[in-house]
Amino acid sequence: MDPGLSDGYRFDRVLDGFDGPFETIPYGELQSFPSQTIKKSHGGYLISSAVNNAFIAVNDLLKAGISVYRVTEETGDFPAGSFYVPARGERILKESGEHWGVAASPVSRKPGKMIEIKPSRIALFDIYGGSMTSGWTRWLMEQFHFPFDRIYTQEIDAGNLNKKYDLVIFMNGTIPAQARRNQGRVPKVEGIPEEFRNTLGGISGDKSIPQLKAFMENGGRILTVGSSTSLAYDLNLPVKNALVKTNERGEEEALSSTDYYVPGSILKAYVDTEQTANWGMQEQADIVFNNSPVFTLKPGAESQGIVPLSWFGDEDLLRSGWAWGAAYLHTV
């Protein structure tokens, strides 16, 4: 599998030898981002949200108490979703240009239609002993300067999550499917050091799910990834498993591994760039897919405010790796 595809690299495969004005880079030497300089502006600056490191700059600006906005319509060469930073953010933008290669373009005046960004109180769910997927997400958020707290089951079960958090993130494997809950081995409290006992427990249907539902009903947001998307069934959202077939009795049943198997591959997907959650993305994306859950919307879902952010087309989806039965994903 080629990880460069999922990172958005565009390249051509060259099989013949070629020459050019190239510079040999010492093996193992980390390369810095090309430094960017900015011009002084009394009208503020625009930053492209298509650049990952722009989010480092935005988080540093918010931490410093400087307002940041997202423009809601195309502004010059910048599409909707780009960031606007007032002139007082010049110092931090200069540092971001030097250290992270973030380019900030000066503007003569403040754009007309914008949404101000409010810092979110983020919680990243984890489990006793640590979750690999949560650990990687923790590292990623640290690299991009997102402030967050780690949260465990006991804090969720205690309720009143809205007092502390605006967003709770559940990575793959941290919310088990309904049928597999309470099947894992639970260590005895007596054998666990005191400082780790608050991390014991797992998401349960009788205690945890009602608290998560109350959190959302009171304005909180939940982001689920991978198997943790099973929360959609707990919340009775108008979605259903797309990876099914109709058997001889006319009943829907989940696909078997002989019908469908896509382990650790990169697939091509389409993205709704009009949705604010997708601002900064291209209309097509190469995504990492590891037998991931796939949903289809039930009738009436859109009237409840549920719309797809991304979907598969009906052409060849495989970009790298292996996909058996990928036709089941077509137009999902």
280-290 pLDDT, tens digit each: 999 999 999 99
What does pLDDT average to over the chain?
92
Q: How many CA atoms lie within 13 A of 76 on its CB side?
A: 17
54 plus 145 within the same structural domain:
no
Domain co-membership, 54 together with 114: yes
Compute the distance between CA of residue 108 and CA of residue 303 in angstroms, rounded to an integer.
Answer: 41
At 60, is the pLDDT very low, low, confident or very high (cuts 50, 70, 90)? very high
Let me know whether 210 and 246 are in one domain: no
- Whole-number pLDDT of residue 319: 92
Q: Is 217 inside a domain boundary?
A: yes
Domain match, 126 and 82 both: no
Condensed to tens digits (0 to 9), the pLDDT of residues 38-47 reads: 999 999 999 9
Residue 9: inside a domain: no
Percent of the chain predicted with pLDDT > 90:
77
Last residue of a domain, one of 83, 118, 153: 118
Shared domain check, 327 and 274: yes
Q: How far is the C-alpha of 332 from the C-alpha of 327, rounded, in Å?
A: 10
Same domain as 87, residue 109: yes
Domain closes at, from 236, 253, 283: 236
Mark whether 229 and 241 lie in a shared domain.
no
Q: Averaging pLDDT over each range in 6-20, 127-141, 181-195, which range is the top one?
A: 127-141
Are 164 and 199 contained in the same domain?
yes
In a domain, 55, yes or no: yes
Give the confidence band of 183 by pLDDT, cuts at 50, 70, 90: low
The pLDDT value recorded for residue 9 is 72
Assess whether pLDDT exceeds 80 at residue 112: yes
Query: Is 218 a domain residue?
Result: yes
User: Does 324 map to a domain?
Assistant: yes
The pLDDT of residue 285: 93
In a domain, 3, yes or no: no
Query: Within this chain, do residues 68 and 53 fall inside the same structural domain, yes or no?
Result: yes
**Residue 227 and residue 213: Cα distance in Å, rounded?**
18
Q: Domain total for the chain?
A: 3
CA gap 247, 259 in Å, rounded:
12
Contact residues for 288 (Cβ-Cβ < 8 A; gap 6+): 6, 264, 265, 266
Question: Average pLDDT for residues 132-142, to the nearest whole number?
Answer: 96
Do residues 92 and 57 make contact, with C-beta atoms less than 8 angstroms apart?
yes
Does residue 32 form part of some domain? no
Neighbours of 164 (CB within 10 A): 13
144 and 220 in a single domain? The answer is yes
Domain boundary residue, one of 94, 118, 142:
118
Same domain, 159 and 265: no
Q: Does one domain contain both 98 and 113?
A: yes
pTM, two decimals, is 0.89
Note whether residue 142 is domain-resident. Answer: yes
| Domain enclosing residue 173, as ranges | 122-236
